[in-house]
Structure 1
Amino acid sequence: MQTATNPTDGVSLVWQDQGNPDGDPLLLVHGSALSKAVWRGMGYVKALGERYRLISMDLRGHGRSEKPHQQSAYTMDRVLLDVQAVLDAAGITAAHYFGYSFGARIGFSLGAAVPDRMLSFISAAGTYRIAAGSIAELFFADYDAALAKHGMQGFLDGWQERIGHQVDPVTRMAFLANDAEALRAYFAQTEEAEGISETQLRQFQIPTLLLAGSLDARRLADSRRAAEVMPDAELLELPDRDHGDTLFPPAPVLAAVEPFLARHSHPD
């Protein structure tokens, strides 16, 4: 494990360098309440590591990275500096970017703000905008109260009750490793933050693959709209998948991701 530091507020970020050191760099960015461990646990490191240099990071407030309790610590501007700090620490000028959920939302903002740092963009269950109530829609209505009163176990229990089944072991482990107060601050800021505009989407020149489950109605609708207005984007709808199971099992996802990356990578 290695660390990077945000140049504005000094938050420490943990990241990992895996895979083929001579391959094109591919940055893997997880979603809310998860960590970089999900990419290994779900099989993506094994599948992609032979060809690509994989850089995975724990977002601030998650995993082994520092976990501020102040809502102001989780603005998108600071998160974008986190991502760039990790790339700088790895000595990488530009990388392919694969983000899930909030990680994908970061990718939209990164591509709009500093497009020269991205070789290509894969958005899994992502959106370029956020609507009021989105966090409750993704998890459950009383998520903040559950975090405040019962911590991460209460949050996990509430989500599993809403979706009607147990989450996979990798997701469960990542959720329970979180700091409940840091996650509350992160969710509060995420709910208030703005995304990027359709005008910015129309100027988004980075080759993009949009992945969304057929049961993930809001993200699928946003991905369809993004595919309509972005100049170089393609959409794959994943049948019978909701937001939480977009990435797993990985085979259908990799069947789209691997050829997309190959088309936009340097030859071996």
Structure 2
Amino acid sequence: MLNVTNPVDGTRIAYQVIGDGPPLLMVHGTALSHVIWRGFGYVKALQDHYRLILVDVRGHGRSEKPHHPDSYAMDLVVGDLLAVLETESPSEPAHALGYSFGARAVLSLAVGHPERVRSVSAGGGSSRPMAGAFDALFFPGCIDALETQGIDGFLAGWAARRGSPVDSQTALAFRSNDPIALAAYMRRSDVEPGIDDAALSAMQIPTLLFVGSRDKQRIADSRHAAALIPNSSLTVVEGTDHATAAAASGPVLAALIPFLDDVSRSGTS
């Protein structure tokens, strides 16, 4: 693993680089880590054509895990991604792929620093305010459960809400986290204001949005963003919810690979 330090608050961010070609920044979702991209088959499918920059979001994986909610402000997360890109792709804008929280992060990066982003691929994300989002997405009281019952208690509550166990790859990634840091991250996300609609309407970066057909919390948000971003398209991954859409790498990659190839060939940035 490689590391960079956010110059604003000194938080250490871990990441890995795999493959060769145009840079593709990849940002995972809540309670996961960079290894999820390998587990779900994205690395194998993309590494021969793109230089994959796989980031562990602060508070996750091998990155530093602060315990204060203010450490997870979106502007600091975007600063983490910029620090990685300034190290790994200082003179070339990168494609940016994110799922769930990662989708929000790459959209925020694109809005705030469009010169650093060649394309955006955002799955299961939301640009809207996040108050109550984790209770809706996982189960009511999930943040308190993390603090009092740890990761296993959280996973049990989520499985009960879904009516089925969380897939093994996702559960394994969740268990690698510090529950107190994860709770702090969620509490800060709850008060984030979101991305202004006008900023999305002004985006000129090619954008692919994807979402599970059964992702009740995010399908409306994805359609909302697709309607606002001028150069965008939306792929609905049939039969999947928020927990399983990213794992359905076949249909996601069927949309993602042609999108990335088209942008790379066109030279659009």
Structure 1 distance, partners of 2:25, 2:93, is: 9
Measure the CA separation in 2 of the matches of 1:234 and 1:184.
Answer: 33
TM-score by length of 2: 0.96
SS in 1 for 2:259: helix
1:118 aligns with 2:102: no
Task: Tell me if structure 1 keeps the 8 A contact 2:131–2:189.
Answer: no
Give distance in 1, aligned partners of 2:152 and 2:15: 26
* Structure 2 unaligned regions, length at least 5: none
Once residues 126 and 89 of structure 2 are traced to their aligned partners in structure 1, the CA distance between those partners, rounded to angstroms, is 29
1:81 is matched with 79
The answer to whether the Cα contact below 8 Å between 1:127 and 1:219 also exists between their aligned partners in 2 is: yes
1:252-263 equivalences in 2 (<5 Å)? 252-263=251-262
The aligned counterpart of 1:160 is: 159
- In structure 2, the residue matched to 1:59 is 57
- Number of residues paired by the alignment? 266
Q: How far 1:229 moved relative to its partner?
A: 1.8
Between the aligned partners of 2:67 and 2:33, the Cα distance in structure 1 is 18
Stretches of structure 1 that go unaligned for 5 or more consecutive residues are: none
Letter of the 1:40 counterpart: R
Residue aligned with 1:116, SS: helix
**Normalised TM-score (structure 1):** 0.96
Moved more, 161-170 or 5-14: 161-170
Write out per-residue CA displacement over residues 204-231 of structure 1, whole angstroms, 9 at most, x where no aligned residue: 1100001011111231111112221211
Query: Which residue does 2:142 correspond to in 1?
Result: 143
- Per-residue CA distance 1:77-101 (angstroms, 9 max, x = gap): 1111000011112134410000000
Distance 2:158 2:64 in 1: 25
Which range is displaced more, 85-94 or 131-140? 85-94
Q: Distance in 2 between matches of 1:140 and 1:250?
A: 25
Moved over 3 A (4+): none
1:215 lines up with 2:209 in the alignment: no
Shift of 1:266: 4.0
Percent identity, please. Answer: 47
Root mean square deviation of aligned Cα: 1.3
Residue 3 of structure 1 aligns to which amino acid in structure 2? Answer: N
Written as runs of structure 1 = structure 2, the 5 A alignment for 1:8-27 is 8-20=8-20, 23-27=21-25
Q: Matches of 1:158 and 1:89 in 2, distance apart?
A: 40
Q: Distance in 2 between matches of 1:180 and 1:244?
A: 19
Distance 1:91 1:237, change over 3 A: closer
Cα distance, 1:130 vs structure 2: 2.8
